Structure 1
């Protein structure tokens, strides 16, 4: 299992192989160098030295293989998902059905046996004898890896199967004009949906602001993630017919339970039930030809989490991001593979090269090396107090009347004093804005969750740094949101990260800025009496 903290994994992706060509490689040949080295690292181990001088031998065990549903069967030497017995996790045969001018393989819900390594070995023996059966075409070199499970170890990737698969395909069905006579068609409400969607202001650590559904074919996986888990329910609530919204809600809640940072057996059981119902109802609501392999894969997600932990721990997001880095290494159309390899080797060699040449290096040389290896600071720390760093140049002036009353709610101020006003602070490693910060009008980074017992929702109007008798301290001035009990989708309990709120009416109040726990996503609903605040499902993979 990858023992690196999640925030470091993306910075330590290893390029073990590169294929450049018009056709896919023979996977048993392509993977052989990796498998041979993995076996050596398993048996002999890797010898390294701690800072204390202690020499350690670490053994390497390959536990999981992450790939999309096209590459996975190639590596396992199984049939593709559009062939009979195309699921590499169970024995469902699938059904060939008509769709438009051709045929596709559908996977209507049915209870089937799961595959296991022992059974797969028997099927491999039959395939070697010339009788490929039950989707197994032959042996896979991954079977040579010590302690590797060729079935459970090849995990379904939710980025491809759920976000770029199920979420995208169902959303496309809703807006495709070919379905204008279908009960789920909502293409006539595109403008209404866009008005709500494009008015959403995510916090600044969400990489992209919402784009129109007319541009959905250009949405990235992260945008589909935001659509599925955050934007879709409040956007579709007054548009999509209720039975289809409830069906979609089961997907939203079922998958979100598998993305948490603390997943209990109850969460797994609830997710399993929701996703099973989602797949069962898919044929009735959308027709058998839309019960795709990606829909079927939803049934196998809970077991993957049961075996290997949350979905974000084995998703392809890190590797897809690295593909972007590889593309940046290509500067011309000639010798593409050589360009990539030269750049990769330079990156690998640079740290050891610089270390050898820093012994008697000049100041100019050291400055040059530092410019290559150290990230430049975009902001300068202005002041720091009680774990809060205030950013930017302060506005020093006499405290305003409403802010004076707000500070009086936590301390008895006899007279108005001179204070420092700030628009941005860093707290708990996150940049939080105030409403007065005008440079990001498409963002809302001022709605936050506090670290009190109730996890109160607070909207920051401004930040004030002053001394109220405990030394110079940063205070957040604003208003609380009042939590209300209201299920967004009738007959279903809200997921734990949905928080319906109503804005409190009253004077400004002040809290210590160090009480800010995290930013959250605020969305105004069509019903303006109750809005929704979303906590982020996890902090490990969500903010890419």
Structure 2
């Protein structure tokens, strides 16, 4: 390279979508479940039906676009986003007690490292930890799975921390955004002839609409533009949304019939006596909804959140409702939650490396009718969570969404 300002080593990004998800995660699943490895210690294909049953019981939030599918029937059709959800959120709870412990511990090294490298920001301490975890993962890979599977993707894991140190978190330059833009371009084509002209023509039309919309403050103009986006980009815009705070929108109409006495008692700790609540909001681009919201509840769970109270560490809960209070010049939103207690005797932990914690997945006691209801300000919520519950396990798992920026 003749560019003095460009270093081909430090300036070239490793795409984790192809390296980690479509490369290593897919390889591991093939090793674990393919019958050609039936004599190996890591083979768990005989437990495939149990794994599939657990997968079917998971109700991911709407921000995870694809629901879990059967590994035995559909793995060869998995998209990169499905491997991502499996790696970061499902795999450790799912395979606990099924994958032999030394292989589960080895896989946990990869999960913790990739989760850290995908966060909104990554500290120097986290980078050093990830380097240690990935080095140990790669060192043990040949011993556990044989040198035959020491692929280039496995080697590239060693360079990911330096990649993040030079260029930023893995989500900042992954191929997910480019694949998403390809989907948008595809929606601009409505025929088989002269595809290039169709894209140019539709794009020019969109630009002219944007310029025209900037000259109008009329609400009708905005509604027409939203309808246009639905037509061309298949956006599912809510019927009614109201902005209350930056990056926070209330959805639908408020209700007075579903406010419980325990919610009123919880709100009274803030001196509030609200009887009008909302069941859904958009929070930094993610939908959070009350578990009382009945639409699509059999397939999705958008009520699980992680929050941090004024004093204390990270806590978890299931949203009951949202209450808007006018305080001075700006409104304030309070959330009522069913508090989830952390399980005393069940937590995911590596037996071979007990000093390394799995920070983003926590085992909690399943909620009951007697669970405590609390109220917190909306700003205490940190992130939506994946709520994982298996019929053969006496706890539930809460996995924190890795960041609020990268979409599937």
TM-score (norm 1): 0.63
* Aligned with residue 275 of structure 2, among 400, 404, 419: 419
Greater relative CO (CA pairs within 8 A, separation 6+): 2
Q: Which has the larger radius of gyration?
A: 1
Looking at structure 2, the residues matched to 360 and 481 of structure 1 have their Cα atoms a distance apart, in angstroms, of: 49
Indicate whether 1:380 and 2:240 are aligned.
Answer: yes
Looking at structure 2, the residues matched to 408 and 369 of structure 1 have their Cα atoms a distance apart, in angstroms, of: 42
Find the counterpart in structure 1 of residue 295 from structure 2: 439
Find the counterpart in structure 1 of residue 91 from structure 2: 232
Aligned length, in residue pairs: 390
- CA-based RMSD of the aligned residues comes to 3.7
Contiguous gaps of at least 5 residues in structure 1: 1-142
Matches within 5 A, 1:267-346: 267-328=126-187, 338-339=194-195, 341-346=196-201
3-state secondary structure, aligned to 2:306: strand
* Aligned with residue 53 of structure 2, among 170, 175, 195: 195
**Are the counterparts in 2 of residues 480 and 503 from structure 1 also a CA contact under 8 Å?**
no
- Residues 311 and 464 of structure 1, relative CA distance in 2, 3 Å threshold: closer
Deviations for 1:205-254, whole angstroms, at most 9, x for unmatched residues?
22122111121111111111110111000000110011111111111122
Moved over 6 A (4+): 355-361, 366-369, 385-388, 466-473
- Residues 238 and 318 of structure 1, relative CA distance in 2, 3 Å threshold: same
Deviates more, 1:341-350 or 1:150-159: 341-350
Find the counterpart in structure 2 of residue 497 from structure 1: 360
Looking at structure 1, the residues matched to 164 and 383 of structure 2 have their Cα atoms a distance apart, in angstroms, of: 26
Looking at structure 2, the residues matched to 189 and 257 of structure 1 have their Cα atoms a distance apart, in angstroms, of: 30
3-state secondary structure, aligned to 1:448: strand
Q: By how many angstroms is 1:450 displaced?
A: 2.5
Looking at structure 2, the residues matched to 412 and 539 of structure 1 have their Cα atoms a distance apart, in angstroms, of: 30
Q: By how many angstroms is 1:186 displaced?
A: 0.8
Find the counterpart in structure 1 of residue 266 from structure 2: 406
**Are the counterparts in 1 of residues 188 and 202 from structure 2 also a CA contact under 8 Å?**
no
Looking at structure 2, the residues matched to 193 and 359 of structure 1 have their Cα atoms a distance apart, in angstroms, of: 52
- Residues 514 and 368 of structure 1, relative CA distance in 2, 3 Å threshold: closer
**Are the counterparts in 2 of residues 459 and 481 from structure 1 also a CA contact under 8 Å?**
yes
Find the counterpart in structure 2 of residue 95 from structure 1: none
- Residues 355 and 278 of structure 1, relative CA distance in 2, 3 Å threshold: closer
Deviations for 1:54-76, whole angstroms, at most 9, x for unmatched residues?
xxxxxxxxxxxxxxxxxxxxxxx
3-state secondary structure, aligned to 1:477: strand
**Are the counterparts in 2 of residues 520 and 533 from structure 1 also a CA contact under 8 Å?**
yes
**Are the counterparts in 2 of residues 238 and 526 from structure 1 also a CA contact under 8 Å?**
no
- Residues 521 and 333 of structure 1, relative CA distance in 2, 3 Å threshold: same
Matches within 5 A, 1:98-497: 143-145=1-3, 147-213=5-71, 214-328=73-187, 338-339=194-195, 341-350=196-205, 370=225, 377-381=237-241, 384=244, 389-397=249-257, 400-411=260-271, 419-441=275-297, 442-453=299-310, 454-463=313-322, 475-483=334-342, 486-490=347-351, 491-492=353-354, 493-497=356-360
Q: By how many angstroms is 1:384 displaced?
A: 4.9
Find the counterpart in structure 1 of residue 405 from structure 2: 540
Looking at structure 2, the residues matched to 534 and 431 of structure 1 have their Cα atoms a distance apart, in angstroms, of: 16
Deviations for 1:155-184, whole angstroms, at most 9, x for unmatched residues?
221110110000001111111111111111
**Are the counterparts in 2 of residues 476 and 513 from structure 1 also a CA contact under 8 Å?**
yes
Q: By how many angstroms is 1:387 displaced?
A: 9.0
